[in-house]
Structure 1
Amino acid sequence: MHTQGATVRRSWASDLDTGTLYALLALRTEVFVVEQECPYQELDGRDLEQRTRHYWLAADRGGTVEILATLRLLKEPGGGYRIGRVCTRLDARGRGLGHRLMDAALAEVGDRQCVLDAQQAQEAFYARHGFVVAGESFVEDGIPHVPMARG
């Protein structure tokens, strides 16, 4: 799949149109629930919070916009930021799309604190963006995770 023309897009939750929100949620479900065979409640109530910012990479395929990768940036109630739900479509992986999204989100975060819970297999991915392990590993929905922080 050619992803060179993929554009980073972002939107506050309140400004996100329903079609795009649906496509973002569909991709996350495809990756986290179906591909990783992990039946869990993907919709956690945070996607529509006023301070949630959604990032995604999309490619225009002859008038049809395809979501290739996504993440969400949460402004935590106690301060700081949390990145989560980072995923890339299976057929678009290995092209640096996740890194492009992380760079865009972290540009917004700046030097403020940011945390995330990484799947252990992705620890090196997040380390490339300045995240370090910030606690004990844990298992969530059958997948080993590690808390990480930056800033």
Structure 2
Amino acid sequence: MSWQIKKFEELTNIELYAILKERTLIFVVEQNCPYLEVDGKDPACYHLYKEDNGQIAAYLRIVPAGIAYQEASLGRVIVSQAYRGQGIARELLQRGIDFVRHELQETAIKIQAQSHLQQFYGSFGFRAVTESYLEDNIPHVDMILSDEAEAIL
């Protein structure tokens, strides 16, 4: 298995298809949440993923500052069902944070986390900056990783 990080235009058709297939499988089908998963932001993003024989094992997209939020953002964080429980999510998130800090030279990262994952993201230093709210009928909380972030919860 190998880690890849690519700009949108660097992805092959096969890679993009595999990424979108896995994102849709998890966010739309597995979570039973019909919404527009392909939201128009992908062309402006970096795509970090771990591939295993053509299968996307883990993925997240890195959204540069000014696209979704004032801050850079990590989103669409997934680990395929067959690869869960192996620590891949921790490695994936750390790689995303490192890329934002070292390659994009950004100091703040904002995420829109599903509320049940607040503790997981908190273990990386993310702090809640909103109360829990419903997004696509799933409880979420906005979180920021920054030296200046002030937790309200």
Local SS of the residue matching 1:101: helix
How far apart are residue 13 of structure 1 and its match? 1.2
CA distance in 1 between counterparts of 2:70 and 2:36 reads: 25
Q: Which residue of 2 aligns with 1:109?
A: 100
* Aligned CA-pair RMSD: 1.3
DSSP-derived class of the 2:19 partner: helix
- Percent identity among equivalent residues? 34
> What is the TM-score with the length of structure 1 in the denominator?
0.88
Matches within 5 A, 1:1-151: 6-49=1-44, 52-60=45-53, 65-77=54-66, 79-110=70-101, 112-151=107-146
Q: Distance in 2 between matches of 1:117 and 1:17?
A: 28
Amino acid at match of 2:56: I
Shift of 1:80: 2.7
Q: Kindly report structure 1 stretches of 4+ aligned residues shifted beyond 4 Å.
A: none
Return the offset for 1:132. 0.7
Query: Counterpart of 1:93 in structure 2: which amino acid?
Result: R
Deviation at 1:79, TM superposition (A): 4.6
Displacement of 1:8 in angstroms is 1.6
Using CA pairs below 8 Å that are at least 6 residues apart, which structure has the higher relative contact order?
A: 1
TM-score by length of 2: 0.87
Unaligned runs of 5+ in 1: 1-5
| Long gaps (5+) in structure 2 | 147-153
